[in-house]
Structure 1
């Protein structure tokens, strides 16, 4: 693995949807590690980005599994010598009423959406602190600001992630590490389109738009932090 002159960045859930857009947007200037459980997709994406002169490498990552997270962070630190940014993007949901949701489904949403960012942050922080700084970006959602039916687990996880991000900010800045919550509105990704095939896509934004804002955050001046940013379609129906 050869590091570019840019940052070394780990993108969780980086093989499809917003994660894919983030990986593609950043790989031209930085070294992107695509962390995902979908091995075929992440390998294919890394190959495509490399063929277009991008710096992207796949590493299987199960964000809810502590051993997996620990191993991936350690491998990145060993092979690249640093980890400049962690983008916690992986997320899942089950669209169903509370009375129909199983405990296993609830637990899976919490494991991926909330436990995952905790674990990746826990193991990334020492690496970043040792090198003198870094940036953790958590992809949240407008679901962390209000609620709608049949998304109880998702809402709970994203409200929790927003709170965790704010707490993480207060601790990480002691080590010169920035933390940002990116509150993203509806996007044209499989996360929505596969579950809601009749959704009005004119009310959605391209994931590349959100990825562009994440790129902007990573270019910010060292002495300035952006704790939270909201990126929504102009015609977003879930906000305000």
Structure 2
């Protein structure tokens, strides 16, 4: 059991890429972390609790929140990082594609956020952050991705709605809208082409995203914000 003064962050999709980077960033900030994904491995850090599971299933959300409260006594921050991104022409999306993307991106967000906010209300405050995509507001014909817009666009709308619903109760809600980030999701041979999608001429680094999330973490007067971290894509081409 940790010191009750220590803050606790729950991070979904935490086994690799941005999620793993966020685990490290929050530990560096002094938080205990509950890290969850389908393939998460046990951590040697006693202040990191790994919980395996499919975030699209309510049972996983229930186990993650219960484990956080049992082990660390609280939840101060939830980062909804878990996500599936598929790029293909709209008419080629299958029912399986739809179920997978909406299950993780939308249902997964809904279930764990609902439970985490219930705990935050008991504590008198908290913060949730959604990881979304700048393609929601700035579609690109080179990256057809309607399911990303459908699911992550819903998260951006919910981010603002939650910010207003809970503004007077100490809970902030924000989002970070990404460009294309160097993660294991993108093979290295595609990096040059992906870099060209961004006006700044490069892909984002995981540190670009963790810096943005930690800015929001420390920005107590910011809620309902959709922060673009996309190499200028939001500004135009």
Task: Give yes or no for TM over 0.5.
Answer: yes
* Residues 134-172 of structure 1: per-residue CA shift (max 9 Å, x gap): 001111110221223431111111111111111111222
Report which stretch shifted further, 151-160 or 92-101: 92-101
Structure 1 residues 134, 157: closer, same or farther in 2, change over 3 A? same
* Residues 171-198 of structure 1: per-residue CA shift (max 9 Å, x gap): 2224211111112222111233479455
Q: Which segments of 5 or more consecutive residues in structure 1 lack a partner in the other structure? A: none
SS state at 2:156 partner: helix
Paired residues of 1:169 and 1:178 also in contact (CA < 8 A):
yes
Q: Say whether 1:218 aligns with 2:217.
A: yes
Structure 1 residues 5, 185: closer, same or farther in 2, change over 3 A? farther
Partner of 1:17: 17
Partner of 2:63: 71
Paired residues of 2:208 and 2:229 also in contact (CA < 8 A):
no
SS state at 2:48 partner: strand
* Residues 116-138 of structure 1: per-residue CA shift (max 9 Å, x gap): 11111111111000011000111
Cα RMSD (Å): 2.2
Q: Pick the aligned partner of 2:227 from 226, 230, 240.
A: 230
> Residues of 1 paired with 2:166 and 2:160: CA distance?
10
Partner of 1:189: 183
Report which stretch shifted further, 158-167 or 129-138: 158-167
Structure 1 residues 59, 3: closer, same or farther in 2, change over 3 A? farther
> Residues of 1 paired with 2:3 and 2:189: CA distance?
38
Report which stretch shifted further, 124-133 or 145-154: 145-154
Structure 1 residues 147, 123: closer, same or farther in 2, change over 3 A? same
Paired residues of 1:10 and 1:87 also in contact (CA < 8 A):
yes
SS state at 1:91 partner: coil
Aligned residue-pair number? 228
Q: Pick the aligned partner of 1:120 from 112, 125, 131.
A: 112
Paired residues of 1:62 and 1:68 also in contact (CA < 8 A):
yes
> Residues of 2 paired with 1:188 and 1:117: CA distance?
23
Partner of 1:206: 205
SS state at 1:92 partner: coil
Structure 1 residues 120, 73: closer, same or farther in 2, change over 3 A? same
> Residues of 2 paired with 1:113 and 1:216: CA distance?
23
Paired residues of 2:176 and 2:229 also in contact (CA < 8 A):
no
Query: Could you tell me the TM-score, scaled by structure 2's length?
Result: 0.87
| 1:4-153 alignment, distance < 5 Å | 6-28=6-28, 29-39=30-40, 42-43=41-42, 46-47=43-44, 50=45, 55-149=47-141, 150-153=144-147
> Residues of 2 paired with 1:239 and 1:159: CA distance?
18
Query: Could you tell me the TM-score, scaled by structure 1's length?
Result: 0.86
